[in-house]
Each structure stands twice: as C-alpha cells, then as structure tokens.
Structure 1
Amino acid sequence: MKPLNDTIRATPPSGIRRFFDIAAEMEDVISLGVGEPDFVTPWRIREAGIYALEHGYTTYTSNAGLPELRQLICADLRKRYSASYAWDSECLITTGVSEGLDLALRVVLNPGDEVIVPEPCYVAYEPCVAFAGGTPVRVPTRAEDGFAVDPAVVAAAVTPRTKAILIGSPANPTGAVQPRSALEGLVRVAQQHDLYLLSDEIYDRLTYDGVHTSLGALPGARERTVVLGGFSKAQAMTGWRVGWICAPQTIAELCVRVHQYTMLCAPHVSQLAAVEALKEADGDVEEMVADYDRRRRVFVKGLREIGLDCPEPGGAFYAFPSIRSSGLDSETFAERLLEAESVAVVPGNVFGPSGEGHVRCSYATALPLLEEALVRMGRFLRSR
C-alpha cells in the first residue's frame, strides 16, 4: 500500500488524552487532566436548545451562521473590549474554536510558512499549523516571568518565512493572562515584519485579576488579527460545539469559503442555544467564574503548602505547578502520582519544552475533590 499522509503520521497522539484514557480505566481516580467545566450547561441555555429541537430547528443555517448570533457576538466584543467588527462580513460561526483555528490557519498559510508559537501552549497549536502546511516555530516563556511573552524573543525568531504569530490568552496550560504591554509589543513586531496575529481568546471571560485584553482591539492590530472565541468554557457548552471567528473581511470571507465546503455550518440547535447564552446567561457565567476563582485560590494555596511552587494563574482554570522539588521529570511524576494515589494530572512537557518540570492541574473540579487531590498529592510527595 502507498504511504498515508506524512505530516499526520508524524504527529503524536494528544498527551492530554493519553493520561485521561488511562485514568478512565481506573477506580477512585480524581482527574485533574481534561480542561472541561464540571458544570452542566446552565438550564436557560439547555431550555433554549430543547425548545429549538422541539420546534424543528434542525436544518442547516447560512454557512456563516445565524445573523442574530453574529450580531450578538460583535455587540458583546464592542461592549466588553471596544473591539469593532461588522457582523455581516467579519464574523462567522464555527464548530467550536478548534475548527476556527483550523480555518484561520488554512486561510493565512501557504506551504512552508512559519508560525511563531510561544510555549508552553495548547497541544493542538503545533499540529494544526502543520496540518495547514505551515511550520511551527517555538519560542519559550518562563515561569519566573509569569509565562509572559517577551516580544524581543519573538522578534528574534522571525525569519523571511515567518507569516504569523499564534497566541492564547488566558492560556492553556499555564493560566497566564498576557499583560497588555506584551500584547502591544507583539503588535509592533507584527507591524514591523508584516505578520498576521492569531489570538485564541476562548477563556476571555475566565479572567480573575484585572481585565482581559482582546488583541484585535489594540491600536494597529485589527487589520492583521484573527480573534477566535466560543462558548465551551465560560458558558460550559463544550458538547454544543459553537465557536466564532472575527477577522478583517478578506480573511473572514475565505474562512467561510473553507467552512462551507468542509463543515457547512455549526449545528442550528446549538447556535440558538448560544443566542440565549449571550442574551440571558451572563449571571450564570458570573456565578461559575466566581466559583472557579474560589477553587483557584484554595487549590494554589494548597499546592504551595504541600511544597509545590505554583505561579498564580490569572485566568482559565489551570494551575501549572513546578514539580522539580520531587526530583522527577514531568512524565514520571504524572505516571507515579496516578499509580500511587489515583490522581490524574498532565505532564507539562506535552505543552512544549518550557513545560518540563511542571504539571497541568485543572481546577474545573468540585472543591471537595480538589481538597482530596491535595491530600493525596501531599502524601505522594512525602513518600518520595
């Protein structure tokens, strides 16, 4: 048989899923591995979806998505972040942010183009760049700097083949919220070298200390920036699969073109549920975010008390403690913790070289389970 696609065959399976799959086969496991809210989608959003299903909203929508939903998204961005996009030409609805990232990369990149990716970063970034024909170029960030991106380090990585910079803030896996000054520095780098900026802002509402900065709202950024967002995290709608892209018209139109041939549209029922989420569910979101914040403070304090240095995560729902004091590398620590104490975490090295010496712990888990996980982790460290 002739060989299959070389790029896909060379891409390893997700390091997050590997530990999740192992934990799923064990009993009494506390999983801090998968980045999914433990909240059920708020009832008013579920009711909107049920109403839509019962009343036959089971057809295709326009490729770009329901006009009302796009209008609401653009109005929300304008209200929260002073980001201005035309709903009818610069916004489209995607099947989750994952599809949005894929569309944006396919539209922006030509074969061999380089994309600078600050790491540690979400495990899908580099494979998605490669699947789109590009070459990911890693630049490190440091725990000592709160995993803030250094624009000078990014600028030093630019070559004649560099086409874009891909960043997530608030970040998975570190929980880092990029300072406005760092983002402004990235805009200057992009202007100087004529680069595109791809900004994954799926965790924008999960910002605890300070205010989220939307990259597309910064001076000089709009004409070259693709902003990605969605409903999976803050609205606890992971399984509904609704995301969005806001971008300059030339980019947005081409994203719709790929979308119409590959996905056609996001689910009609899910889009109507997302309309309800934006119109009526802000209070539900605020309650969930407040709960995550309580868990964040308890869990980070607990990690420090058992001897794991942990940067304060400013957003998302991840802690990224250093495990160097254990004397183990990230993979070994995660494997032995799971075997000995039935606590599942994700080794930091799966998010890039800068993640080595850390593990990712999701605190999107009920507080009693987080407290029990801390007891077990402390016992594991004392046994070393």
Structure 2
Amino acid sequence: MKYKTLGISFLILVIIMSCSNKNEINFNSNIHAHNNQLFHFGDSLNLTVESKYSIDSITYQINNKVHLSKKLIIIQTDNFDYGTNIITQNIYFNKNNTQQKTTYTAAIIVLSNSQEKLIGYEIINKFKHNKLLFTEGLFIADNGNIIESTGSKNRTSQLVEYKLGSENFENSIELSKEYFGEGATQINDSIYQLTWKSKKGFIYNEKSFELISEFNFPPQIFEGWGLTSFENELILSDGTDKIYFIESNNLSNYKRKISVVGFNKLYTYINELEYINGFIFANVWQEDVILKINPANGIVVGKLDLKQISDKYNKNGVLNGIAHNPKNNSILLTGKFWSEIFEIKLNE
C-alpha cells in the first residue's frame, strides 16, 4: 500500500525495564545494548548482570519459552526464529532475606545466513494497461484473463476482469466506498479480495463476480495488503515483515506466519504477492524490487532490480502487481496508475 501512516511493530519494540520492587537501579544488565541488534544463526549473545544483591538465579525466556541461565546464548534454530525474537531476562535475588525478581526485556532480529542472489530478467513483451487503475492485486484467472483489484482514497475500489492488453473490462464490481480494495487471488472457482484497514475480505464467484460471502481477518492481522494462494491456502501480507498462511476453510485463524529476512536486513512493507513455482514473489512498497521468498522460513533467496522498468512510471505510482503466466512461465508486472503491463522472463 499506501500512505505512510503505518508503524512497524518491530521498530517500536523498545527496551522495557520493569521491576516488581523498583530495584532496577541496583542492577546493571547489558541486555538493553542488544535491543534491535541483528544476528545470524550461529552467532553468540553474551549477557551479563552486575548487582549489589546476592543473585540466586537468572532465567531467560526466548519467545515465551523458558531456558536456564546462561551467560552465553548461542543463536540456534531450536531457540530462535527468523525475524524478531523477544528475550526476557528474569533476575531472582535476595533482599532482606526475601526472594525478589526484576525483569528486563529486549528484541533481537535473526537474519538469513546467505546473501540474496540478484536475479536477472529480460522484457519480452509490453501490453496496454488502464492507467486509471490503482493496482493492489493482480493475477491471471483460469480462463486466461487478468483479474485486478484496485483501491484508492479518492475513488471507488474495484475488482475488474479484462483480456491482457485491453483497457476495457469484461467484468467488474465496485466496493462500497467505506472499503479500500487490496490484494486478490483465486482458489478453485472463488476469488478472494482483501480490504486495507477494515479487517474484512470478500469472496466472489469467479465467473459472475457475484458476492458469495464476507470474512473477517484473524485478530492478529490488522491490515490487508498482498494476497496470493497455493492449493487451498491463502497467503497474506499486512504491510509489515510478516506473511501469514490461512486455510481457506478456516479464515478466522492463521495457520502459521513467517518473517521476511535477508542477509543484512529485515524486509518490511511487504506488499503484493504471487506464488510462483514454490516461492513467494513480493513487491516492497515504494521500492523498485521484487523479492523471491522461501515460504518455509521467510528467507529472501533472490531479488529483482526493476529500476529500469519503474523509473518511467514512479511519478504516476509505485511498482505493484505481479501475475504468473504458467503457460510460458513468464511474469506480468505493472504499477499504480501505470499505462503498461510488462512481461518478463527470469534468467535463472
């Protein structure tokens, strides 16, 4: 999406220092120095505590799992996940013959151990695209037509169908003005469409665009951005570093989630998605790149630099819209208010 009104959760994770008996000034823990620090698996985290009190024990909770006290913590897959991990340090000490506790909390970020590969591509075709469309979702339907979901604050959001290269719609439906349309995808004969901040989605008949039903997002998801699917599973982004996997027969809960990580950074503002040959391809809002993501763990295995395509159109709107053409294994790309769709082939 969008308009810069978002706060990314991991960026506002600041060090929380709380003490049940207000003794924090009598402790010196270095855990705060590691807040928002970047790590890779195999790295070590050396935690120290100094106090004038007699310390009985120290325990650590990593993502709400309790571990025994260790001054040196090795970042391993059995304790940590890719992305943001919360470490809580519980210090038990004796004061006036009474055992008491003080707690410190920090967030660390675990990244991929491998560099993202730059993926080459060639432009093999260009097609007309209706430049009035504020593209939020794009995919190729079973009949070969393009399905596009649009959204904008200044115009009515739509779901439209058209032949590739045509600016005329074969089918369309408008959303109520209270809804800002977002990503869309197809499972069997149903089309799923997200909304931005309404925490609601819509399900339509593929052929008629008749509204079948509505659904609410899982409570942990506050915004809808990108949407794709694999088999009977919806794959959804919310504008953060997270991608959620939701079974189409249980839309009120997510099955699992991943954080999108590279070697040097945690990727945020994950936007439009497309599942292609076992990987998730993702736009990043306001960036001229597409990420190739391993859906099992969130690792970015490759990246497309699309500056040569998007430079011409960035004054109109950002790159957004990825559709896989399984007939020739090509990828269609466009953007918000762009007048062209580009067809590319990957060199890998």
Larger Rg: 2
TM-score bracket for the superposition, by shorter chain length = under 0.3
More helix by share: 1
TM-score (ref. length: structure 1): 0.22
Q: Whose relative contact order is higher, 1 or 2, with alpha carbons under 8 Å and at least 6 apart?
A: 1
More strand by share: 2
TM-score (ref. length: structure 2): 0.24
